[in-house]
Amino acid sequence: MLKLNECKENKLYTILYVDESLSNKIKRRLYDLGFLTGTNIKILRESLLKKAYLVEIRGYTLCIRNTIAKSIIVK
Amino acid sequence: MIKVNLVGNPNTGKTTLFNSLTHSHEHVGNWHGVTVEEKSAFYKYKGKEINIVDLPGLYSLTALSYEEKVASDYILKNKNRIIINICDASNLQRNLFLTLGLMELGCPIILAVNQIDKKKISKIDLAGLSNSLGIDIVYINASNRKSLINLNECLIKLNEKIENGYKPNYDLDYIKSLLNDNSEKLNKFNKKIYDYSKDDNNLNIFYKIKLLEDDENIKEKLSITDQFDKTICVATSRYNYIDNLMKIYSTTQNRTYGKSKLDKILLNRFLALPIFLLFLATAFYLTFFSVGAFLSDGLSYLLEQFISQPLLNFLIKTFGENNWLVSLVEVAIIGGMGSILTFLPQVALLFFFLSLLEDSGYLSRVAFVFEDVLGKVGLSGKSVYTLLMGFGCSTTAVLTARNMEDKNSKIKTGLLTPCMSCSAKFPIYAVLGGAFFGANNIFVIMGLYLLGVVIAIGLSYIFEKTCLKSKEQSFILEFPPYRLMSFKRTFSLLWQNVKLFITRVATLILAMNIIVWLLSNFTITFKFIGDENGVSMLETFGRILSPIFVPLGFNSWGLISALIAGLVAKEVIVSSIAMFNGVEENSINSIQSSILLTTSAVYFTGASSVLSYLVFCLLYFPCIATSSVLIKEIGKKWTFIGILIEFIIAYLTAFFVYTFARTIEVFGFWKSFITIITIFLILLSIIFVYKKIKNKKICPYKDKCSKNCKKF
Chain B: closest CA distance from residue A70 (Å): 12
Ordered alpha helix ranges (H), B14-140 = 14-22, 66-77, 92-105, 126-133
Query: H-type helices in B222-321, by residue range?
Result: 231-249, 261-266, 272-288, 291-303, 309-319
Contacts of A29 in chain B (CB under 8 A): 59, 64, 474, 476
Instruction: Choose the final residue of a domain: B163, B191, B214.
Output: B163
pLDDT band at B169 (very low <50, low <70, confident <90, very high): confident
Contacts 24+ apart (CB under 8 A), B121-128: B121/B252, B121/B253, B122/B89, B122/B90, B122/B92, B122/B250, B122/B251, B122/B252, B122/B253, B123/B250, B123/B251, B123/B252, B124/B89, B124/B92, B124/B249, B124/B250, B124/B251, B124/B252, B125/B248, B125/B249, B125/B250, B128/B248, B128/B249
Domain count, chain B: 5
Rounded Cα–Cα distance for residues B660 and B33 (Å): 43
Instruction: Write out pLDDT tens, residues B173-194.
Output: 888 888 888 888 888 888 888 8
pLDDT at residue B9 in the model: 92
Structural domain of A9: 2-74
> Is residue B550 included in any domain, yes or no?
yes
Q: What is the pLDDT of residue B252?
A: 65
Asked whether residue B499 is domain-assigned, the answer is no
Residues B154, B11 within the same domain: yes
Cβ contacts of A70 within 8 Å, gap of 6 or more: A3, A4, A5, A21
Q: Are residues B653 and B690 in the same domain?
A: no
Q: Does residue B481 belong to any structural domain of this protein?
A: no
Give the distance, in angstroms, between the CA of residue B35 and the centroid of all CA atoms in the same chain.
10
pLDDT-wise least confident of A26-40, B68-82, B126-140, B583-597: B583-597
B139 and B278 inside one domain: no
| Domain of residue B304, residue span | 273-469
What pLDDT was estimated at residue B707?
62
Give per-residue pLDDT as tens, B380-401. Answer: 888 888 888 899 888 888 888 8
Q: B203-206 long-range contacts, Cβ below 8 Å, gap at least 24?
A: B203/B79, B203/B105, B203/B106, B205/B104, B205/B106, B205/B172, B205/B179, B206/B104, B206/B105, B206/B106
Identify residue B649 by its one-letter amino acid code.
I
**pLDDT of the residue at B702:** 60
Residues of A in contact with B405 (CB under 8 A): 25
Nearest by CB to A48, from B216, B234, B372: name it.
B372
Alpha-carbon gap, residue B416 to B455, rounded angstroms: 8
Give residue B358's pLDDT.
Answer: 86
Q: Do residue A33 and residue B94 have CB atoms under 8 angstroms apart?
A: yes
Predicted confidence at residue B59, as pLDDT, reads 92
Residue B498 pLDDT > 60? yes
- Chain B, nearest residue to A67 by Cα: B474
CA-only gyration radius of chain B, Å: 30
pLDDT of residue B590: 82
B106 touches B61 (CB < 8 A):
no
CATH of the domain at B58: 3.40.50.300
Closest CA to B89 of B149, B33, B137, B22: B137
Q: Own/partner pairs for B156-159, CB < 8 Å, 24+ apart?
A: B156/B2, B156/B45, B156/B46, B156/B48, B158/B82, B158/B108, B158/B110, B159/B2, B159/B48, B159/B82
3 state DSSP class of A18: strand
Examine the predicted complex and report whether its ipTM is higher than 0.90. yes
User: Quick check: B2 and B50 in contact, CB under 8 A?
Assistant: yes
Integer Cα distance of B546 and B596 in angstroms = 20
Q: Report percent pLDDT > 90 for chain B.
A: 20
Pairing mode, strands B48-54 and B2-8? parallel
The answer to whether the beta carbons of residues B70 and B55 sit under 8 Å apart is yes
Q: In this predicted structure, what is the pLDDT of residue B122? A: 65
* Whole-number Å distance between alpha carbons of B238 and B233: 9
pLDDT tens by residue, B467-476 = 877 776 678 8
- Are B647 and B523 in a shared domain? yes
Question: pTM for the complete prediction?
Answer: 0.84
Residue B177 has what pLDDT? 86
Q: How far is A75 from chain B (nearest CA, A)?
A: 19
Mean pLDDT, range B143-152, rounded to an integer: 88
Cβ neighbours of B475 in A, within 8 Å:
52, 63-65, 68
The domain boundary residue, chosen from B163, B186, B213: B163
Overall domain count for chain A: 1
Residue in B with minimal Cα distance to A17: B232
- The answer as to whether B665 is a domain residue is yes
| CA B428/CA B197 separation, integer angstroms | 58
Q: Mean pLDDT over residues B240-251, rounded?
A: 88
- Reported as a pLDDT band with limits 50, 70 and 90, residue B117 is low
Answer yes or no: is pLDDT of A49 > 60.
yes
Average pLDDT, chain B: 85
| Chain B partners within 8 Å of A32 (Cβ) | 59-60, 62, 97, 235
Query: Does a structural domain hold residue B410?
Result: yes
Looking at chain B, which residue has its C-alpha nearest residue A53?
B368
Question: Which residue in B3, B2, B31, B1 sits closest to B16, CA to CA?
Answer: B31
* Per-residue pLDDT tens over the stretch B4-62: 999 999 988 899 999 999 998 888 888 887 888 889 999 999 889 999 999 999 999 98
Could you say which of B249, B265, B289 is where a domain stops?
Answer: B249
CATH number at residue A52: 2.30.30.90
In chain A, pLDDT over 70 holds for what percent of residues?
Answer: 100
- Residues B672-693 have a mean pLDDT of 86
Same domain, B654 and B537: yes
pLDDT at B712: 46
Q: Does A26 touch chain B (CB under 8 A)?
A: yes
Taking CA–CA distances from A46, the nearest residue in chain B reads B269
| Residue, of B160 and A47, whose pLDDT is higher | B160
Cβ <8 Å between A52 and B257: no
Q: What's the average model confidence in pLDDT over B500-525? A: 85
